[in-house]
């Protein structure tokens, strides 16, 4: 009896083995087309594009960013794909309403592709091909985005909203959220822009022309410098940041010159901005990481004493801000593309 049972089990196992196929050779997922644009805590994807210095041949230079389009799946697709890319303003509006709210439209992300929002611009801000060809046997292609950053108003934050067009012949757009569209928060940068540690820049009220040295210093932990050119940037003076409705009134532009010299400009006369003569300078030290020599840590250290009038509380208060602001970048020298080499 046991021999008969063993024989039946053996035959069943043999039949099972012959009926199996190599399922790992079959496609495990659908061949969807989508963007490689992972989102951050703000619900968008930050991309960094560097300003180029204008030249006589190119007075308004453009810069490029390569955005990957990915064909999902465990096997390579066999046919050529012509993926169509289009603008997606609806997703941008949803992002603004959900993450910021109706009441703060003054700090909403703006649509970079909407040329009616760029004052004084007679050129297209963003250009890109509407069709990206993904050859057979390849899973990734690059969408070439071209940006004209000159005179871009960075008092606002800008997003380029894109999506892979649906219901097109030859492919299926990715059905998963944040794969079929890309909300690209475009951040221009240069060698001096970024988030600075500013806790060592201390502010004290000025009363009747004298600084109250006994007052508790007014500090902010971070201060952002926004790039406006290859050697220019601006920041908001005092404790102001991008969340203030009146932020433009506190804008101060800086030009980084040779030998550590700085030129400061404030367009609003009511700010009463001035810099103490001889107090301002900057240095840009760089040193390799002691444990990973292919990493270079570059810093920008700004030292200054400046004066301003703060009216955000309704009553004008004069301040002296004195100290340093420091920004450091870690750069991987093994990566040729600078925007990718910087560890943001």
Q: Is the pTM of this model over 0.85?
A: yes
219 shares a domain with 162: no
Comparing 28-37, 84-93, 140-149, 237-246, the range with the smallest average pLDDT is 28-37
How far, in Å, CA of 200 to CA of 205, rounded? 16
pLDDT tens readout for residues 86-97: 999 999 999 999
Across the range 175-195, mean pLDDT stands at 93
211 shares a domain with 185: no
Does 316 score more than 80 pLDDT? yes
pLDDT tens readout for residues 286-312: 999 999 999 999 999 999 999 999 999
Domain of 264 in residue numbering reads as 194-341
CA distances from 222 to 133, 196, 212, 227 (A): 43, 6, 23, 16
200 shares a domain with 181: no
Per the prediction, the chain carries an average pLDDT of: 90
160 shares a domain with 233: no
Smallest Cα–Cα separation from 344: which of 43, 45, 35? 45
Comparing 11-15, 177-181, 186-190, 259-263, the range with the smallest average pLDDT is 11-15
Does 181 score more than 60 pLDDT? yes
Residues 6 or more apart in contact with residue 57 via CB below 8 angstroms: none
Structure tokens at 336: 């040729």
Does 80 score more than 80 pLDDT? yes
Beta bridge partners of 324: 303
- pLDDT band with cut points at 50, 70 and 90 for residue 314: confident
How far, in Å, CA of 92 to CA of 278, rounded? 46
Predicted pLDDT at 177 = 76
* Within-domain flag for 52: yes
185 shares a domain with 41: yes
* Within-domain flag for 297: yes
Greatest C-alpha distance within the chain: 111
- pLDDT band with cut points at 50, 70 and 90 for residue 118: confident
247 shares a domain with 150: no
Does 25 score more than 60 pLDDT? no
Report the number of distinct structural domains present in the chain.
2
Does 117 score more than 60 pLDDT? yes
227 shares a domain with 138: no
Residues 6 or more apart in contact with residue 260 via CB below 8 angstroms: 281, 282, 283
The structure tokens 């465990």 sit at 74
The structure tokens 């971070």 sit at 222
Does 163 score more than 80 pLDDT? yes
* Within-domain flag for 24: no
Q: What are phi and psi of 19, to 5 degrees?
A: -80, -15
65 shares a domain with 185: yes
CA distances from 108 to 40, 87, 174, 219, 281 (A): 16, 18, 27, 27, 35
Residues 6 or more apart in contact with residue 23 via CB below 8 angstroms: none
Question: What is the CB neighbour count within 10 angstroms for residue 332?
Answer: 14
How far, in Å, CA of 225 to CA of 306, rounded? 16
Structure tokens at 140: 């990734």
Question: Collapsing DSSP states into helix, strand and coil, what is residue 139?
Answer: coil
Predicted pLDDT at 74 = 62
pLDDT tens readout for residues 220-254: 999 999 999 999 999 999 999 999 999 999 999 99
Q: What CATH code is carried by the domain that includes residue 106?
A: 2.60.40.1740
Predicted pLDDT at 20 = 53
Predicted pLDDT at 150 = 85
Residues 6 or more apart in contact with residue 285 via CB below 8 angstroms: 298, 299, 301
Predicted pLDDT at 58 = 86
């Amino acid at each position: 009896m046991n021999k008969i049972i063993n024989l039946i089990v053996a035959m069943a196992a043999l039949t099972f083995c012959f009926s199996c196929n190599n399922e790992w050779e079959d496609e495990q997922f659908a061949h969807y087309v989508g963007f490689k644009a992972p989102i951050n805590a703000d619900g968008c994807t930050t991309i960094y594009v560097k300003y180029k210095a204008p030249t006589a041949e190119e007075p308004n230079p453009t810069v490029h960013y390569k955005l990957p389009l990915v064909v999902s799946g465990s096997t390579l697709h066999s046919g050529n794909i012509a993926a169509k890319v289009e603008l997606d303003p609806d997703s941008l509006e949803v992002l603004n309403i959900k993450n910021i709210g109706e009441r703060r439209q003054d700090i909403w992300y703006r649509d970079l592709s909407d040329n009616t929002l760029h004052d004084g611009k007679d050129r297209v801000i963003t250009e890109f091909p509407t069709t990206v060809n993904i050859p057979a046997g390849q899973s990734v292609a690059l969408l070439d985005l071209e940006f004209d950053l000159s005179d871009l108003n960075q008092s606002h934050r800008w997003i380029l909203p894109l999506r892979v067009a649906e219901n097109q012949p030859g492919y299926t757009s990715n059905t998963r959220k944040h794969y079929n569209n890309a909300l690209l928060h475009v951040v221009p940068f240069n060698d001096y822009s970024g988030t600075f540690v500013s806790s060592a820049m201390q502010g004290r009220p000025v009363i009747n022309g004298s600084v109250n040295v006994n007052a508790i210093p007014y500090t902010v932990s971070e201060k952002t410098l926004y790039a406006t050119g290859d050697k220019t940037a601006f920041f908001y003076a005092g404790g102001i940041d991008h969340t203030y409705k009146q932020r433009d009134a506190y804008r101060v532009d800086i030009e980084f010159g040779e030998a550590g010299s700085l030129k400061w400009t404030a367009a609003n006369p009511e700010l009463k901005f001035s810099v103490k003569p001889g107090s301002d300078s900057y240095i840009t030290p760089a040193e390799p990481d002691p444990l990973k020599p292919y990493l270079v840590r570059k810093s920008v250290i700004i030292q200054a004493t400046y004066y301003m009038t703060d009216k955000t509380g309704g009553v004008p208060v004069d301040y002296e801000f004195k100290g340093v602001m420091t920004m450091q970048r870690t750069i991987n020298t093994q990566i040729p593309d600078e925007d990718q080499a910087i560890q943001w």
